[in-house]
Amino acid sequence: MRSFGQLAVAALGCVSSVAAQYRHLNSSQIHTDSKGFRLQHGFETVLVQPYGYDGFRVRAWPFRPPTGDEISFLYDPPLEGPEAGAAAHGMNYDISTNGLEPLRLRNGKIVVQTFTAPVRNNVTNVRLAFYRVEDDGSETLLTNEYQPYKALNPRYYSWNGPGYEFSAAFSFSTTPDEQVYGTGQQQDHLVNKKGNTIDLINFNTHIPTPMFMSSKGYGFVWNSAAEGEMEFGALRNRFTSRTTTLVDYAITTADEGDYDTLQRRLTAMTGRAPQPPDWTLGYIHSKLRYENQTEFIQLAQEFHDRNIPVSMLVIDYQSWVHQGDWGLDPALWPNVSYMAEKVKELTGAEIMASLWPSVSDASDNYATMQMEGYLAALRSGPGITDSWNGSYIRLVDSTNPKARDFLWSKLKYNYYDKGIKNFWIDQADGGNLGEAYQNNGQSRYIESIPYPFADALYHAGTQMSVGKLYPWAHQQALEEGLRNVTNTQMGSPCDQVSLSRSGYIGSQRFCSIVWSGDTTSVWETLAKQVSAGLSAAATGWGWWTQDIGGFEKDQSVWWSANIDTPEFRELYVRWQQWATFLPFMRNHGSRDCNTQDAFTCDNEPWTYGESNTPTIVSYINLRYQLVNYTRALFSQLSATGRMIMRPLYMDFGMTDPNIMEMTKNNSNVTTQQYMYGPRMLVTPVTLPNVTEWSVYLPQTAGGNGTQPWTYWWTNATYAGGQSVTVPAPLEHVPVFHLGSRADIMSGDVF
């Protein structure tokens, strides 16, 4: 029996084939100024183009060429690169080949090469391989199309229905030691996704996105709106689109360990986050839910009287008469303009209101949207039949530009023109309301229905073919409306923001915060949110947040989400401390309580016990003290794509050999610790009843080889490359910093 290493070599035999062919090429045969090449391979066409700095874009199709109307999340051309500002690449190329003779193109630090892989009996298939050019002129193989001897074709197509649309599965070589970062957001407690297969289906808390960075020093985007899978195996990475008419992906490279350059290249392809308004950098407050105008103004009065700063107050769901009214119930909110002015006067805060993407047949908007074709349908019937609170609802088709315009017209009239200018895009996962694990509470006997509806039909296509577009398009509806009304261009600083429970490739280009969804209020879930945020960051989503305290009760834990229990109060304080060091500090949740004096139980900073209130308020104040630092982080994010939440491999993978090994194994160090910007190491406390906490301090680079870490609360200094145990009473979250505290407070850190 052969060892795993021998099997790996055998399975990657095509790599040696690549190397053998490469030896027969010389530098005169490499193309450095080509527009790209078109490879005709039987019934299949492959188009490869230089793309941005150090990147290539690859498109492939069998038989029929694409129409040009395919959905793309990539910029053409990218925001940065030799072609930035020039005409779009389109489908241009200047070299044609059948692949029988090796062909090499170079774009900056990346090289693509065609090679022929043996099948059997002198039959060969044409494959692609990608290399990074090192400073000494040598080349490092990043990945190649994966095809061991007599294996499934690495560019695999199949036709499963009566039409032309096909299923595509593309495979690429990897090695057991490669690490994979990004892939959107999953509740899996992982930073390194190696070994995972992830379904490309959105639902509440699950936002899979086929975009990743490799520890080998390359970034990859599978540019598809279709449902499918991404698989990261020991020897093969495979991406599947279940129904499509075009395969489209991009690859880029940077020096191994240079993740900031990788992020710069990837965000140049998919979009840069704009600069958020200053007021969003403070404290955002919400609960499930404030019932009426009087209660909401009283909330603002309480913040004013208690001298607690707040930047935005939020009106959550069911504040309307009927689903799809997209306006507040006038019986409960009789004077919206006055309320907005009063809240601003008392606190200086903005207001955000919730909207859902569904319309009840009782809403005045239903008939118009039905007649105009603004509602999603089913391939087997007139519309997506869903329900909420016993009423029949239909899903807004946000992939339809006219439906997006209609939605915004209602939001503008009912909210924006009356002073509520920020919007919470809840439930917009696509296919239905996005509750994959229950039937929206309609029956305790009917659960685990396989949502989203695979049979959903949109203006842009089916759920199978374009389902991943839906949350992105819903964000787009708000972005288009807000940009038009403020007469600003996408990418410029934002005046207002939206908050979305979902997203996709390039969601960061919108003035839209992604949050981690309806999580449960237990310690394990708190720990999962850290790694979820780090994976979101590696995907390019710098605008990320979550619900302080978790959203809802875990039915298996008696004290979960109950504000009157000491157990939940402790969890809430620890969660709130951590949220101080996130891109956005947002408090929200559905709470239980022993005594209820409002429509829903309280969730304000002063409701978690008299002894805890000073601690909670102190972290809100600290958030405002750090505003210069946070603003500087967002400025770098907007300019270069440099992440705010930074997994430890980003900054210490090359200076501390322990970090990569810990990341490979998804140790608690690398899933629970991260850098908040360049100077602050944050380690949330994720267990109850502790008074001290162990923290690993990475080996740093400095003038003498190391730079000391300083514990925020005691000013004690420590050398890097060791684990230390520090005091962590309930008042203190373990935070260390590099450099002076004065520089951090001033924002002078770059």
> Quick check: 440 pLDDT over 70?
no
Please name the residue ranges forming H helices in 132-198. Answer: none
Spatial CA neighbour of 338 closest among 306, 307, 296? 296
What is the C-alpha to C-alpha distance for residues 377 and 629, in angstroms, rounded to an integer? 47
Quick one: tokens of 386?
């869903």
What the chain holds in terms of domains, given with CATH numbers, is 21-270 (2.60.40.1760), 302-497 (3.20.20.80), 660-746 (2.60.40.1180)
The predicted pLDDT at position 706 comes to 75
Supply the pLDDT for residue 436.
Answer: 52
pLDDT score at 337:
98
Position 121 scores a pLDDT of 62
Encode burial over 143-156: b for 16+ CB neighbours within 10 A, e otherwise.
bbbbbbeeeebbbe
What average pLDDT does this structure show over 713-722?
96
- State the Cα–Cα distance between residues 649 and 582, nearest whole angstrom: 18
Q: What is the pLDDT of residue 120?
A: 62
**Mean pLDDT value of segment 39-57:** 96
pLDDT tens across 573-605, in order? 999 999 999 999 999 999 999 999 899 999 999
- In this model, does residue 32 exceed pLDDT 80? yes
Query: How large is the average pLDDT for residues 457-480?
Result: 96
Predicted confidence (pLDDT) at residue 188 exceeds the cutoff of 80: yes
Which range has the worst mean pLDDT, 5-19, 123-137, 175-189, 440-454?
5-19
What local confidence, expressed as pLDDT, does residue 528 receive?
97
In the predicted structure, residue 704 carries a pLDDT above the cut 80: no
Across 348-362, 379-393, 689-703, 709-723, least confident range? 379-393
Residues 6+ apart with CB under 8 A from 3: none
Percent of the chain with pLDDT over 90: 83
Instruction: State the Cα–Cα distance between residues 354 and 286, nearest whole angstrom.
Output: 11
User: Per-residue pLDDT averaged across 645-673, rounded?
Assistant: 97
Residue 10 has pLDDT above 50, yes or no: no
pLDDT, greater one: 24 or 239: 239
Active site residue 329: no
Q: How far apart are CA 631 and CA 642, in angstroms?
A: 13
* Per-residue pLDDT at 5: 39
pLDDT confidence of residue 306: 98
Identify the band that residue 348 occupies on the pLDDT scale cut at 50, 70 and 90.
very high
Q: Place 1 in a pLDDT band, splitting at 50, 70 and 90.
A: very low
CA distance 128 to 146: 9
Q: What is the pLDDT of residues 382-409, one digit of tens each?
A: 766 677 777 788 899 999 999 999 999 9
Helical (H) or strand (E) element with 275: none
Average pLDDT, integer, range 126-131 = 96
Strands in 600-733 per DSSP E: 645-647, 674-676, 680-682, 692-697, 709-711, 717-718, 722-727
Whether 18 has a pLDDT exceeding 80, the answer reads no
Query: Once rounded to an integer, what is the mean pLDDT over residues 427-443?
Result: 68
pLDDT band at 25 (very low <50, low <70, confident <90, very high): low
160 vs 648: which has the higher pLDDT: 648
d(CA 344, CA 292): 17
The SS3 assignment for 50 reads strand
Residue 390: what pLDDT?
A: 74
The CA-CA-CA angle for residues 257, 261, 264, to 5°, reads 145
* Catalytic status, residue 76: no
The larger pLDDT score, comparing residue 207 to residue 84, is at 207
Residue 486: pLDDT above 90?
yes
The catalytic position among 325, 429, 518, 656 is 518
CB 484 within 8 A of CB 401: no
> Which pLDDT does position 7 carry in this prediction?
36
Please state the rounded mean pLDDT for residues 520-543. Answer: 98
Q: How confident is the model at residue 97 (pLDDT cuts 50, 70, 90)?
A: very high
What is the reported pLDDT for 87?
Answer: 87
- Catalytic residue, candidates 426, 429, 547, 651: 426
pLDDT in tens, 276-322: 999 999 999 999 999 999 999 999 999 999 999 999 999 999 999 99
> pLDDT at residue 676 above 70?
yes
Share the mean pLDDT of the chain.
Answer: 92
In this predicted structure, the answer to whether residue 16 has a pLDDT above a threshold of 60 is no
CA distance 575 to 585: 11
pLDDT for the residue numbered 13: 43
**Closest by Cα among 629, 637, 350 to 491:** 637
- Structure tokens, 588: 């929200």
Q: Biggest alpha carbon distance in the chain?
A: 84
Return the exposure string of 79-96: e unless at least 16 CB atoms fall within 10 Å of the residue's CB, then b. Answer: bbbebeeeeebeeebeee
Q: CA-based angle 8:14:17, to the nearest 5? A: 125
| pLDDT band of 381, cuts 50, 70, 90 | confident
